[in-house]
Structure 1
């Protein structure tokens, strides 16, 4: 049985291929998003209860290999999983989509991390955040005029910053929809993490079309010594070898 740590479009695509190939697989979702789209394999939702709970799950389900297809910025999950699998001698694959690359006409400015945004974005700017709900309260160091933060599910809590608001929307978004949203809100900057993936590219294409500046937060490095794949067919081939 293969454990697929999921939550991304790439994970869902791989799950479909695993099902079509007849490979026993169970997908695990963290439970951050309400009513996620269904997976074509057995699926569990929620955390494991720390490292001990994760190891107990591996034993109970007789997991023979782990594919970590979580978000490229889910560093804590990746580090913990890679460490546990290495200690147990359990085959582990990090399946991670390719990074975005700038193209002609893009006005990208790379930030090392969230703290580095203050170096890049001038004071009194209108900012559109597409970095996830968990990062919003880390933006207090920015001398912004206003911040919009996009989330999948409407939060029950008020916006954590003085000048700002939530924007609720469920991906995927088209370039036309993104352009219409940016034209309505008129942000000066788009802030994104370099998560990669075709489904998230529309906001970057919209920013280029409208001449918006983009603050691109660099992807954190992966743990050393792990096996990585960026193509879904390569990940499927690895799964077939370890099923």
Structure 2
């Protein structure tokens, strides 16, 4: 029986775990443990980090893992780099499962930037400007320090778990978890009189409602691009493709 480690935490990872388990593959899903009360996949679950590429490589070898699937969040660059290095050291086949990113459509007003800091720089009002920019920030609680304290900026920050205190006076935190509705996002934008949406290009259907609402209400969107993937690693976009890759591994990997 093949044994597969899925670096998870995403809907795609959960779908892959379910599909492989149904096919008789022994699956271990690893969760980073950064979210309270995460949605758990079927099969065995391991919570917590590995200690970088050294720890992950040691774990792969000790546990006799036949294949490694990195199905982490598109912005989990450090974990993806660790997976690539650990796979290289151990010879364990590696696949990266990444859902497609979002694409700008008719009526959208997007500006793509390479980093969170670049997004924050765009929000800073010119010296002497009196108006306050009201920002819908959906980049995660760990990114809040990049945006907190910007002059002339008020933030509605949404996250699953509370950010680390203290929360600055110009930040209002909303704790919520998707999927969201267009109606709900429109109401939130109107209630807080928001001007700009700042988000990461995470992709997926669970959080696209904010982009539809922003388009309908004429909000500018600052979209933070994904970090580049490691070179030379095969990538797919769906759980079905990842499952087929695992099941098609050479018999020597059984």
TM-score scaled by structure 1?
A: 0.94
2:52/2:82 contact within 8 Å kept: no
Match for residue 165 of structure 1 among 149, 172, 180: 172
In 2, the alpha carbon distance for the partners of 1:79 and 1:121 equals 30
- Change in Cα spacing, 1:52 to 1:140, as seen in structure 2 (3 Å) is same
1:134 and 2:142 matched: yes
Structure-1 residue corresponding to 2:39: 37
Asked if structure 2 preserves the Cα contact closer than 8 Å seen for 1:189 and 1:214, the reply is yes
Partner of 1:10: 12
**Partner Cα distance (1:65, 1:121) in 2:** 43
Measure, in 1, the Cα distance between the counterparts of 2:39 and 2:120.
Answer: 36
Q: Structure 2 vs 1, CA of residues 90 and 151 (structure 1 numbering), >3 Å: closer, same or farther?
A: same
Q: Considering only CA atoms, is the larger Rg found in Structure 1 or Structure 2?
A: 2
What is the TM-score normalised by the length of structure 2?
Answer: 0.90
1:109 aligns to 2:111 (yes or no): yes
1:91-110 to 2 correspondences below 5 Å: 91-110=93-112
SS at match of 1:172: coil
Q: Which runs of 4+ in 1 moved over 6 A?
A: none
Instruction: Give the deviation of 1:140 after TM superposition.
Output: 4.3
Following superposition of structure 1 onto structure 2, how do residues 1-243 of structure 1 map, counting pairs within 5 Å? 1-121=3-123, 123=125, 124-140=132-148, 142-155=150-163, 157-159=165-167, 161-242=168-249
Aligned length: 242
Distance 1:110 1:162 in 2: 28
Q: How large is the RMSD of aligned CA atoms in angstroms?
A: 1.6
* Structure 1 unpaired stretches of 5+: none
Cα gap change, 1:202 to 1:19, in 2 (>3 Å): same
CA distance in 2, matches of 1:64, 1:141: 48
Stretch of structure 1 that moved more, 140-149 or 85-94: 140-149
Paired with 1:98 and 1:125, the residues of 2 have a C-alpha distance of 30
Structure 2 gap ranges (5+)? 126-131
